[in-house]
Structures are given as structure tokens and as C-alpha cells.
Chain A
Amino acid sequence: MPERLEVVVNGRARAFDVEPRTLLVHALREGLGLTGTHVGCDTGQCGACTVLLDGKAVKSCTVLALQADGCDVTTIEGIARDSELHPIQQAFVEQHGLQCGYCTPGVILTSLDLLARDPDPSDETIRHALRGNLCRCTGYQTIVDSVRAAARELREAAPS
């Protein structure tokens, strides 16, 4: 029996029906057409489906959509301002932080959770935070470089 899901996604209130077994990732992709949140392993290992739920990084393939009722969800579609990329997106472009790009939305959302807690993380801290995000194109070095560059950019932009 479908139930009503009311959720704020990328700042906009949305309401639609989902089956209780619907996972948050499918509600976002199929219910709202927000296909920037990727389904990778579908077993909670790879982190491609990571979104922010009330500001915290979660794997949206391992959350029931109804558990997000009344919550605030941020997906990769919600972080740029108008046509201007978010500094972390810009950093991934400049530091070559992606190749195929499949894992990138999840990596970026996890990194935003990290940077909200620690605006100046060490490389070790970045790697520990990204343990749940798998990249299968290359290594992780340029991803770490991108997060570090984004951290610097965000610190400089922040009012001191």
C-alpha cells in the first residue's frame, strides 16, 4: 500500500507516494527524476548513492524512503548555485578528481559532510572519511587532492 512521503529535497518541499519498501535512492531517481544519485553496488559497499540526510552523509540505497519523511535531503543536483559550480565541484574539475564520474556525486556528498566537521582535514582524515566511497577508475590521490583544494577554497571563502 503506497504511503505519502513528504521531504525537502535540495531546498524544495516535495510530496509523493512510495511503497514502504522503496529505498531512498529509488525515490530520488524514479520519484523525482534526480538521477545524479547513482546506484553502484546496491549492497551498501560503494557509496555511489551517498546523499546528505539532515546534513549527514548516508547511503541512500540503505535507507527506506519513508525513514526520510520530514527530513532534508541534499543530492548532487542541489549544491551548485544557479550556473556556478560549488567550490568542491570546481576543485574536482581542476584537480582531475574524476575519470568516468560514476562515483563522483557520492564522493562529493561524503566530502561535504567531512568538511562541515573539519574544515582543514589532513590527507589521512580525508582518506578515512572516504573509506565508504569506491572509485574503480584510478587511484584516490586526485580525489584527495580535490577535497584538500576544496577545503582550502571554502576556508578562504568563509567569513573569518
Chain B
Amino acid sequence: MLSAQNLHLTFNPGTPIETQALRGMSLDIPAGQFVTVIGSNGAGKSTFLNAISGEQGVDSGAVLIDGEDVTRQPVWDRARKVARVFQDPMAGTCENLTIEENMSLALGRGQFRSLRQAVREEMRVLFRERLAMLGLGLENRLTDRIGLLSGGQRQAVSLLMAALRPSRILLLDEHTAALDPRTAQFVLDLTARIVAEHGLTTMMVTHSMRQALDVGDRTVMLHQGRVVLDVSGDTRRGLEVPDLLAMFEKVRGEELADDTLLLG
């Protein structure tokens, strides 16, 4: 389970381009919950995600994963608990390594790396099993360089990779944003399936209000570096995008003017 406590972060303080990215960002995600996070550009979604994964430090506040304070820990120390799928399909895999090599890397996430052979036969059995789930024939292409795959295929494999080893929190960073609508839907369905199958605590940042409501148990909306809306359970069920908009306007007293949020 994840607990972000009163995170503050300012970029370029004291300069003309000073930006307060996080202003008291707090969020508690209990184990097993699937949270979707939306917000317009500059709301702090990616910054928040990076603060949790460790790629970005914070000025004040704390990030706790399963009760452990990881705020000062670098990315590689948090990797044991944090699984992540990046927005850019190219960023989540190593282009010139093979599918099985990439998966072997993910299987060892956060583990001590020894001088044992990296890709062993019993691992291949597991990889084939998981890849078959995608229905893309990739289970027969274990020794192909992953750079040969399309963006959508790489993203699907990245998702599988994130679920190869148990995690305390799965971070999905607008992971369908770079895909065409059909592939995006495929990856989204795959996401729901994998999260349900493994009971993963998940935080999915998305640019699309539609997506945010369709998937998961709870939707959180960020605006100007903090949480402004938090809906789950009965309130959330049956909510439509216009309803979400109305809620936003009521809370903020202003209209939401970001097209991509509404049209996505």
C-alpha cells in the first residue's frame, strides 16, 4: 500500500520560471486498490508519479510504501517494491536486447544479480506462458530483438514485465497515450486483466477522463499540484464525463478548459 504525505516540490525556486509542481500532494492507496489519476497539463501527475518511483526528489513530505519511508531512497532501491510502465513504449524496454532478455531483467527486478546465467530454460517456460496470454504470437519469438516489435507490442510486453515479480505498487504512466485507439484499448483491457489476476495495487495516470472512469476502483483528480477530487464506490459507479466535469467546477469554482481531457 502507498501513502504520499503532504508532498511539496518547486522547480527552479527563486527564478522567473519558478513552478510549484506539488503543493501538499497527499494520497493513500490501500492494498489491492486500482486508482486512476487524471488532471490537465501541469497538474502534477507525472511529477507525482516520479516522486513515488524515486526519479524525482521532493522538497518536503514523505512517501511511504508498506509503511517504509522511501522518500530518500534512489530509484534502484525502491524497485523491489515499485513496478512501472512508462508512457514511451521505447523507454520501458532495452531495444537491442531480446524479448527473453528483457523479461529476464524484469523477473529480477529488485533482486540481487549474480553470475548465474541470465536466461534459463525454466524462465523461458514462464515467459512463453505469459506471452501466450497476449495472443500476438510473441511466445515463439523469444530470441527476437525487442526493437523489432511495434510500439503497442512493446507496451504489452512492458506490462507483462511489470507483473513478472510481485510489487507493492504498480505505476502506469499514461501508458496508452502513445498508441493508436485500437491498440490502446487492447493494452487497457490487458491492464485490467493483469491487475485483477495478480491483485496488484495500481496507480494509473491517464489523460483521458473516459479511461479514468472505465477502469479501476477509484478516480482521483489533480489540479495545481494537489488532489481536488476523489471518487470511489457508489458515487463513482455510473459517473459520466460531464458529471465529473460538473464536480470539478463545483470544487474549483472554475471551468475546466483542457480539451484533451474531455476529448480523449
Do A and B pair up? The answer is no
